[in-house]
Amino acid sequence: MLTFILFVPMLVLLGYFIYSRSKFKNKSNAGAFFFENDSLVLNTGIPYPIPLNEIECVELKYNPWELEHKMSYSMAIKVTKKDGKTKQVFYKGYRTAKLALPSDMKMALEDKGIRCVMVDK
């Protein structure tokens, strides 16, 4: 009985995780973010959608050395909303994603009319 009580919260959390990820179609192999339903969706464990019309700027912080010399790289993505609130997530990037490189991400954001700033760490 004690084991059951200990695993119930974990099962509820796992169920919520699966439910929240199942709401989005483009999540697999999307990279750090993807666009769906007029929103920028940060592709974290639990996807975080931000409507495109609320975004002021997206900042991509990465290490250029990692980008040139490794197959994977670390990046911080900071989304600043027009109301001044920010959301920051960290991403471990791989060159196999649809938007694999920060330059690809910047072009995709600018195609949607979102200002993007790339910052070398």
Residue 12 lies inside a defined structural domain of this protein: no
Bridge partners, residue 58, by sequence: 79, 116
pLDDT the model gives residue 116: 95
In the chain the beta strands, taken as DSSP E runs, fall at: 33-36, 39-42, 48-51, 55-62, 72-81, 86-94, 115-120
Contact yes or no for 77/91 (Cβ under 8 A): yes
> Considering the domain boundaries, does residue 13 fall inside one?
no
Residue 96 lies in a domain: yes
- pLDDT for position 31: 77
CATH of the domain at 62: 2.30.29.30
Assess if residue 18 is contained within a domain. no
User: How many domains does one find in the chain?
Assistant: 1
Which residues of the chain carry a pLDDT beneath 50?
Answer: none
- Could you tell me if residue 54 is inside a domain? yes
6 inside domain: no
Note the pLDDT of residue 52: 95
> Residue 80: which domain range?
26-120
